[in-house]
Copies of this chain bind each other. A is one copy, B any other.
Amino acid sequence: MLRIPGPTPCPEEVLQAMTRQMINHRGVEFEALLRSATARLKEFFQTKGDVLILTASGTGGMEAAIVNTLSPGDKVLAVINGVFGERFADIAEAYGAEVERLAFPWGQPGDPDAIRRALDSDRSIKAVLVTHNETSTGVTSDLAAISAVVKQYDKLLLVDAISSLGCIDLQTDAWQCDVVVTGSQKGWMIPPGLAFISVSPKAWDAHARARIPRFYWDFAQAKKFLERGQTPWTPAVSILYALAVALELMAGEGLANIFARHARIGQRTRDEIKALGLPLFAAEKYASNTITAVKAPDGLDAKRLLTILREEHDVILAGGQRGLAGKIFRIGHLGWVTESDIDAVIERLRTALPKAGFATA
């Protein structure tokens, strides 16, 4: 029972898809595969703009978002409420952007009003970096509200949606997100190895002027090759086989149903955790429907709990990262997940918690 925020478990038919033999990535079969996956991804991104498939993990996709739209010295506002918000800021800084870090308490979302004040007080800011769903704390920020502010000031909006897209509503076009990044091993029910990225017309304008050096990540190369049904560099073909099958499953379920399932399961997870007597880490109004972070109350040894769950109950949960190590644990419920998966985790938690020092409610 792998219940971390990714890699997420893959359905059997997805795993079987990867037993398909290699094909020519410059040939007609691959072209059909890439075109159909790209078209489907656009539906899940809720965009009529471009969606590109890169061979990389999600962090590679975040790097691509930065290097394709910014120039050294550009001012960037980074909305940070956890590890992945910091990572996005770190990447921008590594490439020479001047990053203003707008930090919020971990467990809280990014606050649109604070973003408004930051944009108002520094009109030279060019782009805003936002983590839609902060995996490290299990918090979903109100991206629609944040976008409304960012667009009022006509800034470029770069979104890390790695652990939300395909699970939680994200309306790329309606919310005017310029670049949205996700990773294959999250809501998509397939193994890691691919990043999917949307590029708006405004992002293409930025791309034309962006002077951070780039080669492997270049959106223009990806788009040029996509027009002939290819990728510029040899892609992770077997992950694309998996993607084709997963997208079929997702289309069968339907986007609205997928969102509803994640909302239902997120709520159930939180309810069950509270019923065990454990406190939630995230502000409940903003608690993520893909990841639940659970506070370790006094007496509970969170690291020992994870070890007991793994060794005695075959359940793999995630710990806290950085400053949250030992203070929280996290349950992933994104992608291929049902109510009974969560019930099984809760049942085993109930058994394991006392051994780790916590008397359940």
Binding site for B on A (CB under 8 A): 2, 4, 6-10, 15-16, 18-27, 55-60, 63, 90-91, 94-96, 183, 185, 191-193, 212-216, 232-239, 242, 310, 316, 318
A2 proximity list for chain B (CB < 8 A): 21-24
Protomer copies: 2
A18 proximity list for chain B (CB < 8 A): 15, 18-19, 191, 238
> From A91, which residue of chain B is reached at the shortest CB distance?
B215
> Main secondary structure on chain A at its contact with chain B?
loop
Q: Are B21 and A238 in contact (CB under 8 A)?
A: no
A55 proximity list for chain B (CB < 8 A): 55-57, 60, 192-193
Q: Which of A22, A59, A214, A235 has the most CB of B within 10 A?
A: A22
Q: Are A215 and B95 in contact (CB under 8 A)?
A: yes
> From A90, which residue of chain B is reached at the shortest CB distance?
B215
Q: Are B63 and A183 in contact (CB under 8 A)?
A: no
A318 proximity list for chain B (CB < 8 A): 24, 26
How far, in angstroms, from A234 to B95 measured CA to CA in the complex? Answer: 21
Q: Are A7 and B22 in contact (CB under 8 A)?
A: yes
The minimal Cβ–Cβ distance linking A320 to chain B, given in whole angstroms, is 12
Q: Are A7 and B25 in contact (CB under 8 A)?
A: yes
A-B contact pairs, 10 of them (CB 8 A): A2-B23, A7-B23, A22-B191, A25-B192, A55-B56, A94-B215, A185-B234, A185-B237, A191-B236, A239-B239
Q: Which of A20, A57, A58, A185 has the most CB of B within 10 A?
A: A57
Q: Are A21 and B9 in contact (CB under 8 A)?
A: yes
